Amino acid sequence: MKQYIDFYTSYRKKIDEGCAPLLNSFRDEAFETFRRAGFPACKSEDYQHIDIAGLLKKDFGFYLNRAGININPSRVFHCDVPNLNSHKHFIVNGHFVDYEASKDFPPSVFSGSLNAFAERHPALFSKYYNRIAGAKDDGLSAFNTTFLQDGYVLYVPENVRIEKTVQLTNISAGNSFSLINRRILLILESGAQAKLLVCDHAYEENPTTANTQIVEIFAGEHVELDFCELEESSRNTIRLTNCFARQAASSQVRINTITLSAGTTRNNYTVDLAGEHAETYLYGMAIADKRQRIDNHTLINHLSPNARCRELFKYVLDDEAIGIFGGRIVAAKGAQKTEAYQSNRNLLGSRNCRMYAEPQLEIYADDVKCSHGMTTGQLDETALFYLCSRGIPKDEAVLMLKFAFTGDVIQGLRMEGLRERLKMLIEKRFRGELATCRGCGELGTKS
């Protein structure tokens, strides 16, 4: 932690260069929060299996002032999902890259760089940026705000619908140990609709890359938003994400998080159902083997009556992989008629893999429908025997059962082209084949 405090103190002017003044204006307060709170303590209940400070102890380099970005990612790094009609954007090492970005949005929509949004829409930026993340006494979020250089904003004004899926590809690329800070700000005013797919990619041969990411979602009344994150990174990647969502009355937000390949991943999701009849669907899936470690923690706060949430997380682990799930749903006092359902299901394929799960309900209202459950086990031997008795080779039978296990998470996606692509990627992942949703050339980056 000390090296980051010293770096900020010594290079504050360098950090500010090339960034919008409004973005820079949030740094000092965030820095004081980080200096006071530090990284989450590994001995705390929520972080007992992930040591954030230990992961970030290495002497990482920062990408300041767009250093190392001299590529056109749309030409050399494709994240194409067949049959997904999408607007395509790219972020390289934390910076929005405006190469051949989609231009056919409705004129009132903003989709692009966080710095550009701050310059063009200062009132909106000041109203929304860091308003959820900054309200938490959270050292990791404060760290991101302190050192952030750029990010992505999707602003959809009242009653505007974006028909195409917006696809944002995050690329981590470089020749040295690097720490990348990313930001996503989603603002949907009353009656707006949008779908955002975020794909995380890193090259297997990259040195260790650490990514911190903050997502802030503001969903106005009667908003419909689908937000999906797909991680296909490398065993050398560290991914630390805080996603915050605040929903107004009658809004519907669907969040999907899917980890197909990774090194160490920690995802935090905090959703505030602040308006009556708001609905949240939070689905997650992780496939991990070797020594990968996937940690998902969720907190859904029911703050108003008549709100609903559905939460489902599934893990498929093998070798020496470690999976962690911590889920908490809170029905606050006065949040009557709450409907909340949480489920965690885990499939272990090895004696050496480990799954740690802690589903929780906190209910302070007396008229609710809430349930939660968790199961961890191996493949159903009866089902396996049945398939083999029908002439299906055992390896194929195992693959079929694993694939079926993930089916309901995939069906929770409302991006049809992505659903079909994921089925292929998951099947190849279970077969041990190196499958990605990208076709990439040589990245001409420099550190």
Mean pLDDT of 111-130: 96
H/E stretch holding 37:
helix 27-37
On whether residue 430 sits in a domain, the answer given is yes
On whether residue 445 sits in a domain, the answer given is no
Which of 329, 302, 301 lies closest to 313, judged by CA?
329
pLDDT of residue 428: 84
On whether residue 447 sits in a domain, the answer given is no
As a whole number of angstroms, the distance between CA 328 and CA 358 comes to 8
Structure tokens at 407: 């089916």
Mean pLDDT of 100-105: 67
Query: Residue 446 pLDDT more than 60?
Result: no
On whether residue 123 sits in a domain, the answer given is yes
Mean pLDDT of 395-419: 85
What would the pLDDT profile of 286-307 be if each residue is shown by its tens digit? 999 999 999 999 999 999 999 9
As a whole number of angstroms, the distance between CA 73 and CA 92 comes to 8
Structure tokens at 132: 């959820």
Please give the tally of structural domains in the chain.
Answer: 1
73-130-149-442 Cα dihedral, nearest 10 degrees: -20
pLDDT of residue 71: 60
Angle at 216 between CA 128 and CA 115, to 5 degrees: 60
What would the pLDDT profile of 142-166 be if each residue is shown by its tens digit? 999 999 999 999 999 999 999 999 9
Average pLDDT, rounded, for the chain: 88
pLDDT of residue 396: 84
pLDDT of residue 344: 96
Angle between helices 394-405 and 416-430 (to 10 degrees): 140
Query: Residue 75 pLDDT more than 90?
Result: no
What is the extent of the structural domain holding 423? 2-440
pLDDT of residue 211: 93
On whether residue 382 sits in a domain, the answer given is yes
On whether residue 376 sits in a domain, the answer given is yes
As a whole number of angstroms, the distance between CA 139 and CA 262 comes to 23
